[in-house]
Structure 1
């Protein structure tokens, strides 16, 4: 029956071993089962009804962040539909309309895309009638439906988020105009519109920020679904395909680390696996992948600044993103920071931010935390004096955190006021400068684990260098609070973070030195000699800055 193309929800893509070369973990473009290890992307759809869209002639929307598998799903579904005898489906990307807001220019480009993609997939190619842009798309889709009759036509439009302004409105209106006549030989019976954001957000943007009303040009969608990240079991299943084909295994600790660092983001999972199996280890190696291999793969991936990761950094200059990310880094409470706030929705749709009832708003995963931190503090990191001019190492080459933080206090006193005037993220400036300072000495021989969330009132850092750990917490002293009150609150939080980070209290790491840094952000803060403090209290060191 129509619309039952995915009746095997837990199928696994397998190709006979003697008919292909060894597959690999893909990070460039859509996945296909002949070349790549992959899981059926339809398993991760949320809020959709694939079994209904064709048979019940429904139009629908799919939105999710970049590199989550949207295009892979669309092309997979198209192949599945076309392998049967009941319908014809075609994937069409409208990405070539990027930066073309005028309908007069964009609609002909979309029509050309329809012809180009139909030809690429060996489907009937519709003719372009001599119509005005206001009706040309409607006309070519009607012609296309007639060409594929007696089968119904399903069109899967991808990258719809590139359409803006009049181009978007005209595109949607022409689809709505054909909706009433949708049937075999008349107009596509089902259309999917796919991009990063829900359609209502693009319509609002196209109308100059005016919210969508019932008379919007696409009030005919049946569903607005999304595609989720991998679950932990999915990550295991994905690597298991390589184990089956090559015999190479991965340690349980490495699998846990991959999921913990990526939170199941599909591109990150594939990138970590690809680098660990093809760059850290030789592609034909059967050596077990360990957590050390994956850690090296993570650092390699971050240093490479691949397009997907670099595009996240570019988003940080967007004013809608700036205040949300800044609140998360500083741990500040902001009553406007809610999931219905349009700026917060935008950050979540971009895949930058996630929310759950336990932690509130956080950066979506630790890899993104690292990328965004390095992007924001790269200028500080690169402009700091050489660590050779600081006192920060013990005679045995290990990290002397006391000495390093005294160096930081001195640098903060001498330079922070000038540097802060040029900061993009002014409220998070203390946090970003401190992390840059620590990164300058840990690069290559250590690492920094971060934990921050909006509303937590702090930022926590765990610094590892040559096997030794140090715990650092950062808090801000605001107007109306006293240093003593912030210190008492911070001591409790710092020790709590240490205990959660090292749950095995019998371990040597459970006694890791702890530091609490309190930055005075009051407008009437006292002179430097009163602000700079070094206090030993309750088993940790408190620094006033």
Structure 2
């Protein structure tokens, strides 16, 4: 039986999965159009899973695309020479693996080419891809390289600018581009990684937004469990689960995990709001990876506390603008978002509760700094009511 996944990448054969069909189709259209796509979103939002599914879908529907998938997570402290040495080894391994899948074994020409190649810097990398494009074209004129880089935040600062300049030069080249398309995935944006605050060398990027699950997607995810096990969720449970999480992928799956695995609800019973209330209480008390990561991020800078408490405490709100460094950083961490009225909002009631709890010892007895003495409002009033009737 499959499960709801909360630990890293999910696999359709082992986990219940939101298909994200429309988002994948959009991404593939951009790849085919030769765009250099960037996706920056908080951790545990399904970025890696999404890109893997998208690449699998692309290659399953067309043999014209040659995917090279990399991950920079462990590269941060490498020197520039070591970075390019490791990068070449990973690129070579990916090329060999893809070739084996398509040809059975790498061709003699490819083996000879890879044995003679190496990366010493960004220029050597550009020359490698130019030569690789020629090799592919001699075998299949329609073949196009798609380069996907996950955990791009791990790129060493010493190589960041030159690496991006190299990709930009390839993108703007009049000749046949290799890579034809690039997908960059991470938490911090290119601007935030560009610590010297110079003009970004990667202004050709096409930004891709991966939204949280919609209500319909949450419903479809839970329906997969019901179809397999026969245990339904009451409609108000689905509504409340989506409202409390705002569709945040980890939280949705964690709620479902508690409800289906940890509360020992008989499989013959419908999962009701009474069950959900128990799951809600358990989730708020536990130290799961997502909430721990949230608390780590909001404690990174003392200025975060002041802004977050203004957001949850002041009726007049705080105007949302990514030109404000603190607002932009909290948005990057997936803590706040822009509300319909243009002001900052905590992204979901679960996070809002945790933020208030995290700062409660610091503000206990100091509510006057956040609320008027004439007001009967308290922090608990800012939580979304949980109707268990």
The TM-score with structure 2 as length reference comes to 0.81
Q: What is residue 71 of structure 1 aligned with on the other side?
A: 48
Q: CA deviation at 1:194?
A: 1.4
Q: Secondary structure at the match of 1:97?
A: coil
Max radius of gyration: which structure? 1
What whole-Å deviation, never above 9, does each CA across 1:125-156 have from its counterpart, x for those lacking one?
85573442243433443454455442111111
Alpha-carbon separation, structure 2, partners of 1:60 and 1:293 = 42
Q: What is residue 90 of structure 1 aligned with on the other side?
A: 68
Q: Secondary structure at the match of 2:55?
A: helix
Alpha-carbon separation, structure 2, partners of 1:86 and 1:353 = 40
Alpha-carbon separation, structure 1, partners of 2:246 and 2:233 = 18
Alpha-carbon separation, structure 2, partners of 1:502 and 1:81 = 42
Q: What is residue 80 of structure 2 aligned with on the other side?
A: 103
Higher share in helix: 2
The TM-score with structure 1 as length reference comes to 0.60
Q: What is residue 202 of structure 1 aligned with on the other side?
A: 193
Q: Secondary structure at the match of 2:213?
A: coil
**CA 1:342–1:368: 2 relative to 1, 3 Å:** same
Q: Secondary structure at the match of 1:34?
A: coil
Alpha-carbon separation, structure 2, partners of 1:253 and 1:58 = 42
**Structure 2: gaps (5+ residues):** none
Q: What is residue 449 of structure 1 aligned with on the other side?
A: none
Q: What is residue 26 of structure 1 aligned with on the other side?
A: 5
What whole-Å deviation, never above 9, does each CA across 1:80-117 have from its counterpart, x for those lacking one?
122232222232211121344x4333333333332344
Q: Secondary structure at the match of 2:209?
A: strand
Please state if 1:153 is matched with 2:145. yes
Q: What is residue 37 of structure 1 aligned with on the other side?
A: 16
For residues 366-385 of structure 1, the aligned pairs below 5 Å read 366-377=349-360, 380=361
Q: CA deviation at 1:348?
A: 1.0
User: Out of 354, 358, 361, which is 2:344 matched to?
Assistant: 361
**CA 1:154–1:357: 2 relative to 1, 3 Å:** same
The 8 Å contact of residues 80 and 158 in structure 2, kept in 1 or not, is answered as: yes
Q: CA deviation at 1:172?
A: 1.0
Q: CA deviation at 1:366?
A: 1.6
User: Out of 358, 365, 369, which is 1:476 matched to?
Assistant: 369
**Structure 1: gaps (5+ residues):** 1-21, 381-422, 432-473, 479-485, 508-545
Q: What is residue 298 of structure 1 aligned with on the other side?
A: 280
For residues 319-358 of structure 1, the aligned pairs below 5 Å read 319=301, 321-331=304-314, 338-358=321-341
Q: CA deviation at 1:59?
A: 1.4
Please state if 1:229 is matched with 2:212. yes
**CA 1:112–1:231: 2 relative to 1, 3 Å:** same
For residues 68-467 of structure 1, the aligned pairs below 5 Å read 68-83=45-60, 84-100=62-78, 102-118=79-95, 122=100, 126-127=114-115, 129-146=117-134, 148-149=136-137, 150=140, 151-181=143-173, 187-203=178-194, 205=195, 207=196, 210-212=197-199, 216-221=200-205, 223-281=206-264, 285-319=267-301, 321-331=304-314, 338-358=321-341, 360-377=343-360, 380=361, 423=362, 428-430=363-365
**CA 1:297–1:44: 2 relative to 1, 3 Å:** farther
Alpha-carbon separation, structure 2, partners of 1:231 and 1:336 = 25
Structure scoring higher RCO (CA < 8 A, sep ≥ 6) equals: 2
Q: Which moved more, 1:325-334 or 1:67-76?
A: 325-334
**CA 1:182–1:318: 2 relative to 1, 3 Å:** farther
Q: CA deviation at 1:26?
A: 0.9
Alpha-carbon separation, structure 2, partners of 1:89 and 1:346 = 32
Q: CA deviation at 1:224?
A: 0.7
Higher share in strand: 1
**CA 1:195–1:248: 2 relative to 1, 3 Å:** same
Q: CA deviation at 1:268?
A: 0.6
Q: Secondary structure at the match of 1:227?
A: coil
Alpha-carbon separation, structure 2, partners of 1:274 and 1:502 = 19
